[in-house]
Structure 1
Amino acid sequence: MTKLKVLLTGGGGMVGRNILEHSAIDEFDILAPRSAELDLRNFDAIKTYLDKYRPNFVIHAAGKVGGIQANMREPVGFLLENLDMGRNIVWASRQAGIKKFINLGSSCMYPRGHEEPLKEEMILKGELEPTNEGYALAKVLTAKLCEYVTREDASYQYKTLIPCNLYGRHDKFDPKHSHLLPAIIHKVHQAKKNNEKTVEIWGDGTARREFMYSGDLADAVIESINQFDSLPYYMNIGLGHDYTINEYYQTVAEVMNFQGTFIHDLTKPVGMARKLVNVNRQISWGWTAKHDLTAGINKTYEFYLKEYM
């Protein structure tokens, strides 16, 4: 039987690499060009690539990503690069006649200031978090373009998965570019290595975040390909529960056996007070994450020690 030919963008990023490492990936004929081979900011280059290789299915996992520091420092880049990549791959796929498309969004697409779990229908229902607004706007516009493509012609099924915050193998650990959890792993490891007695936490540590192991998102993506027809047009992918920043630091310390203490810098920005996705739609569809926090941090720390030390 002929394998489904799938184009995966962002194959060199954390999400893409975890998808390529999935145990079921060999069931598909995967095209995973790096940016040197296919620049997603170049619309004509994408059209030429699609005409040459003729994939049946596209997974858009590419993006310029980073934590609070990077988003605050480079808002122009986070808006323009993500917007260009998203617009180009969606519209080029539509012009190439590709009927099935999975776009990976972000929980940053949701409005700020909500204590309750964020439902898919809340997109564009409020002000975005200012610290990563550019990135969020690009993700919203790409998701809406997918929606419009399907609205105009239902034979084109372009759907968006909205993951919660992620961490895991192939993550970025440099605090200048990383998200919260890999930055914590790096900071606590360096403190232990250098025999430091304290580690600084931005804010009071009571803000809550939902972080899922990236291998679980890869599993959800594979399941989405296999069960594409029943996949909702918008669906959160997450845990359905969250932890405080302090709890993430404490769990990392336990995994590493770090014996020091934590101090809080109340002058630093912390972003949204809470960002938890509602997973009712995901559960009804039939998928749940496999890793708990300790198991995910253990696997991530093993990768960090092997690749960064």
Structure 2
Amino acid sequence: MSLITPTALPADMPPRDAPIFVAGHAGLIGSAIVRALQAAGYRNLILRTRAELELRDKQQVDAFFDEQRPHYVLLAAGKVGGILENTNFPADFIDANLAISLNVLGAAHRTGVKRLVMFGSSCMYPKETAQPMPETALLSGHPEPTSLPYAIAKLAGVHLCLAYNRQYGQQRFIPLIPNSAYGPNDNFDPKSGHVLSALLARFHQAKADGAPAVTLWGSGTPRREFIHSSDIAAACLLMLRDELPPLELPLNLGSGSDISIRELAESIARVVGYAGELAWDSSKPDGAMRKLLDSSRMQHLGWRAGVSLEDGLRDTYAWYVRQQGADRNDSALQ
């Protein structure tokens, strides 16, 4: 069981039988949202796999919204990856994420969805800007080049939300910007996953192999802020309330503290139980040197991140070990 934050839900939440579409329900943030909704008693969740609904296909998305008529949409679907994948497949990242935002937001507007929450990314912020980063810093400089296509697509989605709200005089589309998310159902592939999940998988394998050392990209000096997916889900649910106050959008979601990649690697090695050497290849890119969000706007609404990094790492690793065991058992039965 993954962590559930203790954030109390307000009284003006949607009825528990309201039709809610969670796009990307099998992924990191989407699965956390599903768990949080189910824990809160919601029982009319609309879930579709990519094989059942291709969000990049406008005809499929339009037909789905016409048939299902969800009242609420939580858009956690998208193409995500680490530095290596963003570098090798930039066209795939911008194409997929632009198409998803255009199709889903367009259909949601046309069919009268009451509230839609979508997720931007902290990589949208300029590579060089004041820390912690306030939402007003968006578009004040150039994002980190290694994630530029993804950042542009996410910026377009955020501003599409704001444009719908402004043109039609409603606060229906809510863009949230989480910092580096992690937790159950993350992508743990060392080649395509984000840094935390990729390190966890690499140290797990190194421990199993008895490897004397693990070589990591970069210098280890960049600093990152990590937020557990349960905390993101808790914030997302608060955005569904009927009587939201007027909001300055978008809204940052961060834990409030950051850690160097070197410190993160050492923490993950301890959690996994890997005792080998950590070597650093400084010829590889570091990415942005620091990404810490100013989450005061969201905190003024009563939300706080409740999962510490240590607890979150242990929770995520326990889930990963269980999943590895389940995968081995499934293979043995085939």
Within a 5 Å distance, the mapping from 1:155-166 to structure 2 comes to 155=170, 157-166=172-181
* Residue 80 (structure 1) aligns with: 95
Distance of 2:24 and 2:312 partners within structure 1? 22
Distance of 2:23 and 2:136 partners within structure 1? 26
- Contact map agreement 1:15 1:61 (CA 8 A) in 2: yes
Distance of 1:172 and 1:241 partners within structure 2? 23
Distance of 2:156 and 2:284 partners within structure 1? 30
Within a 5 Å distance, the mapping from 1:110-121 to structure 2 comes to 110-121=125-136
Runs of 4+ in structure 1 deviating by more than 6 angstroms, as ranges, are none
Distance verdict in 2 for CA 1:207–1:2, change over 3 Å:
closer
Q: Please give the per-residue CA displacement for 1:240-298, whole angstroms capped at 9, x wherever unaligned.
A: 11000011111111112222221111100111000111111111111111111110010
Does the alignment pair 1:244 with 2:292? no
* Residue 7 (structure 1) aligns with: 21
Q: Please give the per-residue CA displacement for 1:192-236, whole angstroms capped at 9, x wherever unaligned.
A: 111122121212211001111112211221222236613543100
Counterpart pick for 2:144 among 103, 107, 129? 129
- Paired residue type of 2:32: N
Q: Please give the per-residue CA displacement for 1:45-72, whole angstroms capped at 9, x wherever unaligned.
A: 2111111111111111100011111111
Corresponding residue pairs, total: 309
* TM-score under structure 1 length normalisation: 0.95
Identity %: 35
Identify the structure with bigger relative contact order (alpha carbons < 8 Å, sequence gap 6+): 2
Q: Please give the per-residue CA displacement for 1:86-110, whole angstroms capped at 9, x wherever unaligned.
A: 1110111111122321111111111
Distance of 1:8 and 1:232 partners within structure 2? 24
- Contact map agreement 2:176 2:252 (CA 8 A) in 1: yes
- Paired residue type of 2:229: S
Does the alignment pair 1:57 with 2:72? yes
Distance of 1:199 and 1:237 partners within structure 2? 32
Distance of 1:296 and 1:149 partners within structure 2? 36
* Residue 21 (structure 1) aligns with: 35
Distance of 1:148 and 1:86 partners within structure 2? 13
- Contact map agreement 1:47 1:96 (CA 8 A) in 2: no
Distance verdict in 2 for CA 1:154–1:24, change over 3 Å:
farther
Does the alignment pair 1:304 with 2:320? yes
Counterpart pick for 1:177 among 178, 182, 192? 192
Distance of 1:138 and 1:46 partners within structure 2? 19
Distance verdict in 2 for CA 1:227–1:272, change over 3 Å:
farther
Deviates more, 1:55-64 or 1:215-224: 215-224
Distance of 2:298 and 2:286 partners within structure 1? 28
Distance of 2:176 and 2:242 partners within structure 1? 13
Within a 5 Å distance, the mapping from 1:1-309 to structure 2 comes to 3-22=17-36, 24-27=39-42, 29-155=44-170, 157-226=172-241, 229-230=244-245, 232-309=248-325
* Structure 1 unaligned residues grouped into runs of 5+: none
Distance verdict in 2 for CA 1:185–1:46, change over 3 Å:
same
What's the CA shift for 1:175? 1.1
- Contact map agreement 1:19 1:25 (CA 8 A) in 2: no
- Contact map agreement 2:174 2:239 (CA 8 A) in 1: no
- Contact map agreement 2:16 2:41 (CA 8 A) in 1: no
Distance of 2:19 and 2:248 partners within structure 1? 22
* TM-score under structure 2 length normalisation: 0.88
Distance of 1:114 and 1:288 partners within structure 2? 24
What's the CA shift for 1:29? 2.1
Distance of 2:49 and 2:96 partners within structure 1? 15
- Contact map agreement 1:99 1:156 (CA 8 A) in 2: no
Distance verdict in 2 for CA 1:257–1:145, change over 3 Å:
same
After superposition, the CA RMSD in angstroms is 1.6
- Contact map agreement 1:99 1:155 (CA 8 A) in 2: no
What's the CA shift for 1:28? 5.1
Distance of 1:138 and 1:243 partners within structure 2? 27
What's the CA shift for 1:163? 0.4
- Contact map agreement 2:203 2:274 (CA 8 A) in 1: yes
